[in-house]
Amino acid sequence: MEQLVDRLAAHWQLGPWGQELLAAAAILGVAALVFVVALTYAGVITWIERRVAGRTQSRIGPNRVGPFGFLQWLADGIKMILKEDVIPAQADRPMFRLAPYAVMLGVFSAFVTVPFGSLLIGADLNVGVLFLLAITSLVVVGVLMAGWASNNKWSLLGGIRSAAQIVSYELPAGLAVMVVVLGAGSLSLQDIIRAQGGAPWNWFVFRDPFCLVAFFLYFTAAVAEGNRTPFDLPEAESELVAGYNTEYSGIRFGGFFLGEFANVYLLSAIATSLFLGGWQIPGVTPAAQADSVLLQLAGFAVFFAKAWALVFVVIWLRWTLPRLRVDQLMGLCYRYLIPLAFVCLLGTSALLLLVTPGSGADLALRLGTTALGGAGLLAFAWRVRHHIRRVGDRVSLDVLQRGARGVFDPALQARRYGAFRRGQEER
Amino acid sequence: MGALASYLRSIGRSVLSLADGLAVTFSYLLRRPVTLQYPDRTPEPVVKGLPERSRGFLEVDLDLCTGCGACDRVCPIDCIALEVVKDAAQGRLIRRFDIDLGKCMFCGLCVEACPTGAIRHSHEFEGGTGDVRNLVVPFVDAPRPPAKAKQEPPPAPKPLGAILRARMPGPWDPPRPSSPAQGGDHAA
């Protein structure tokens, strides 16, 4: 972006004041662009979330507004803006009004350092990863403010839970990120991506077994930091009504909502940059990609595909797992994730000392880890096939057991119930 | 050693069970949904698939109605408004037979009381309308003589729900003008 500003300034022969103005305009323009992109992504994620939730539960999900219900998120957004904005009488008004902005600020500022392509990035900070870890902590402040200002015990409990959770899970997330930073030797997200390659065995996730574990640790910790199910204790509806955003309505609730969903994309994009090779295309060097607009777009597409695949995983995880208990949540963090993260950090450091980068042993390690990951995916696909074959491609909810003629058919019931019982015995 | 082994075993167990849980939900993503997209994408109208004895909105076949008023008397919430008048020239006339579908609780007492089977439950249930007054369905347009209790030959049975469907207002119809013949604002 700075190069672009310099080039334009030279082209128009601007004085120093003109240059400053141009730079300011460029910053505002990029900020607006990133904000709009982030909002759009957050909206689209809500649609994907509801479609995936539907299909997981043998439903269809939104299907009325636009093709496949795709415009549902726009309709929801309009609804949210038009709704009444209620502030409780006993609430701390300024804090209550401010809290959603703190949450949104924490999430959307993080988009500044998240790349979309090799040149498509708000600002490639040299402390990128640290900036991300720091700025996303603002979310805690917003959530605590919301919990406190609502003057409601459930909200306050939700806010405090959220603070405890985010502060705890910063540790394994930070340690897992350090594993990558060790290998890349830089904190800048673009440098970290450049240190990887296009092919899977050149990604950091498959560099050695410790990195593979670190990827899952980071992913788990990031999901927990984003207050997503199964770690959504701060807004556990069965215990705390809706946690810190119980008293919020209208567009202020929308602020929390969009922040949460933008955070889902954010954590996926960060995981993609750190572990999955970002915008790297196999066989294309980063320098070549920077020169060609077409390769730029291809890099954007690659990044987009990886990040949205991870978004899907986050959503899929949510509709699979039940919520953890508070003590289990803390136990998972302090008894499992943090020790494992330390082991990974030490293991990767040892391997960095023992194995020369680029040597045959290094390649063997990478290929071996990739094979391990591939075998895991294959085993997973086999299990999916097993589950489909066991139940068939359609769940029968026909409680009346009506056959083709629309009346009760005992033979059909016996057949179906027998199939179900056989399935039970197989297990 | 025992503690470490159980620690590692619990990690392995949770990873495997988590992966299998994800496999179960993923298998559902590859299955067809079971949703029936009521109301507009059902294979056939839901009204047709309802059980034989299901109680939908009431309908009255005036070719059978003797105007005895048994249904009106037995109705526990007065959702039936029946008016029979004596005319010097024509004798007894049914002037009004309104049923308030909004009040009816589908108890079926009127159907049991009816000696000729003139009032019955149809299978219709979709009565959404923009104005609550439209839920009062009049079955008599102009005063007409009641039917005989025994008719030879008996009139042909009408298809279930046909009488009601012809008289139900559409969802966006304006409120029906309440004519003096129908006794003014019945819903009030």
User: How is residue B140 written in tokens?
Assistant: 């008599």
Q: What is the pLDDT of residue A427?
A: 47
Give pTM, 2 decimals.
0.76
Q: Is B60 helix (H, G, I), strand (E, B) or coil?
A: strand
3-class DSSP assignment, residue A277: coil
Confirm or reject contact between A57 and chain B (CB < 8 A). Answer: yes
Stretch A136-148: mean pLDDT: 86
Q: Which residue on chain A is closest to B32 by alpha carbon?
A: A394
SS3 letters for A156-201?
HHHHHHHHHHHHHHHHHHHHHHHHHHHHHCCCCHHHHHHCCCCCHH
Average pLDDT rounded to a whole number, residues A28-53: 86
Residue A195 to residue B143: CA distance in whole angstroms: 92
List the domain boundaries for chain A: 1-79, 83-354, 357-392, 396-426
Q: What tokens does A303 get?
A: 């990044």
List Cα–Cα distances, B37 to A64, A284, B157, in angstroms.
11, 48, 33
Burial zone of B128 (CB within 10 Å; 0-12 exposed, 13-18 middle, 19+ buried): exposed
Please indicate whether, in this complex, the C-beta atoms of B34 and A397 are within 8 angstroms of each other.
Answer: yes
Q: Tell me how crowded residue A60 is: count the other CB atoms within 10 A of its CB.
A: 18
Instruction: Write out the DSSP string of A82-131.
Output: HS-----TTS-HHHHHHHHHHHHHHHHHHGGG--SSSS--S---TTHHHH
Contacts of B33 in chain A (CB under 8 A): 54-55, 58-60
% of chain A surpassing 90 pLDDT: 8
The answer to whether residue A416 scores a pLDDT higher than 60 is no
- Among the partner residues A54, A336, A384, nearest to B27 by beta-carbon distance: A384
- At residue A325's C-alpha, the angle toward residues A319 and A329, to 5°, is 90
* Smallest Cα distance from B131 to chain A, Å: 25
What's the count of helices (H) and strands (E) in chain B, helices before strands? 5, 5
Residues of B in contact with A60 (CB under 8 A): 33, 35, 37
Residues 6+ apart with CB under 8 A from A181: A129, A187, A192
pLDDT number for residue B111: 92
How many whole angstroms from its chain centre is CA A228?
Answer: 9
Confidence (pLDDT) at A400:
46
Min Cα separation A98/chain B (Å): 38
Task: Give the A:B interface size as CB pairs under 8 Å.
Answer: 69
Q: Has residue A398 got a pLDDT over 90?
A: no
> Could you tell me if A145 and A99 are in contact, meaning their C-beta atoms sit under 8 angstroms apart?
yes
How far does the CA of residue B134 sit from the closest CA of chain A (Å)? 28
Number of H-type helices and E-type strands within chain A: 17, 0
Which residues of chain A have a CB within 8 Å of the CB of B21? 320-321
Q: Pick from A59, A383, A391: which is nearest to B33 by CB?
A: A59
Write out residues in chain B with pLDDT < 70, as ranges.
1, 177-188
Mutate to test the interface with A, among B13, B22, B50, B53 (most CBs of A within 10 A): B22
Both tokens of residue A161?
């839970």
A334 close contact with B: CB closer than 8 A: no
Check residue B182 and report its DSSP letter. G
The residue whose two tokens read 């604002």 is B185
CB spacing of B24 vs A58 below 8 angstroms: no
User: Is A419 an interface residue toward B (CB < 8 Å)?
Assistant: no
Contacting residues for A209 by C-beta, under 8 A, at least 6 apart? A347, A369, A372
Count of Cβ atoms closer than 10 Å to residue A358 Cβ = 8
Q: Do B21 and A54 touch (CB under 8 A)?
A: no
Would you put residue B102 in left (φ > 0), alpha (ψ -120 to 50) or beta? alpha
Q: Give all domains of chain B, ordered by start, each with its CATH number.
A: 51-173 (3.30.70.3270)
Q: With contacts defined as CB-CB under 8 Å, which chain A residues touch B28?
A: 55-58, 395
pLDDT of residue A426: 52
Chain B residues within 8 Å of chain A (Cβ atoms) = 11, 18-35, 37, 49
> What does the block give as tokens for B82?
């029946």
CA atoms within 13 A on the CB side of A39: 12
Identity of residue B154: P
B-chain CB neighbours of A172 within 8 Å are: none
Could you tell me if A293 and A115 are in contact, meaning their C-beta atoms sit under 8 angstroms apart?
no
Residues A87-100 have a mean pLDDT of 86
Are A60 and B35 a contacting pair at CB < 8 A?
yes
What average pLDDT does range A300-323 have in this prediction? 89
Q: Give the Cα separation of A342 and A345 in Å (integer).
A: 5
pLDDT surpasses 80 at A417: no
Mutation target vs B (from A383, A396, A397; most B CBs, 10 A cutoff): A383
Among A305, A279, A304, residue whose Cα is nearest residue A292: A279
What pLDDT digit, counting tens, does each position of B58-89 carry?
A: 999 888 888 888 999 999 998 999 988 888 88
Judged by a CB distance cut-off of 8 A, whether residue A372 touches chain B is: no
**A407 CB near a chain B CB, below 8 Å?**
no
Model pLDDT, residue A411: 63
Structure tokens at A309: 């695949």
| C-alpha distance from residue A180 to each of A269, A366, A381 (Å) | 15, 14, 28
Q: Angle at Cα A349 formed by Cα A347 and Cα A354, nearest 5°?
A: 90
> Across the interface, do B49 and A319 touch by the CB < 8 Å criterion?
no
Q: A319: which chain B residues are within 8 Å (Cβ-Cβ)?
A: 25
Q: Where are the beta strands (DSSP E) in B88-179?
A: 91-100, 119-121, 136-138
Cα dihedral A308, A310, A315, A321, rounded to 10, equals 170
Sequential DSSP letters for A214-237:
HHHHHHHHHHHHTT-TTS-GGG-H
Q: CA B67, CA B65: separation in Å to the nearest integer?
A: 5
Q: How many angstroms separate the CA of residue A125 from the nearest CA in chain B?
A: 36
Residue type, A277: G
Whether the CB of A54 is below 8 Å from some CB of chain B: the reply is yes
Which pLDDT tens digit goes with each residue over A328-372? Answer: 888 888 988 999 999 999 998 998 888 877 788 888 888 888 888
| Minimal C-alpha gap between B53 and chain A (Å) | 13
**How far does B18 lie from chain A, in Å, by closest CA?**
8
At residue A309, the pLDDT reads 92
| Residue B76 preceded by cis peptide, ω within 30 | no
User: Quick check: B35 and A380 CB within 8 A?
Assistant: no
User: Is A52's CB within 8 Å of B29's CB?
Assistant: yes
Provide the pLDDT for residue B109. Answer: 93
Give pLDDT, residue A190: 85
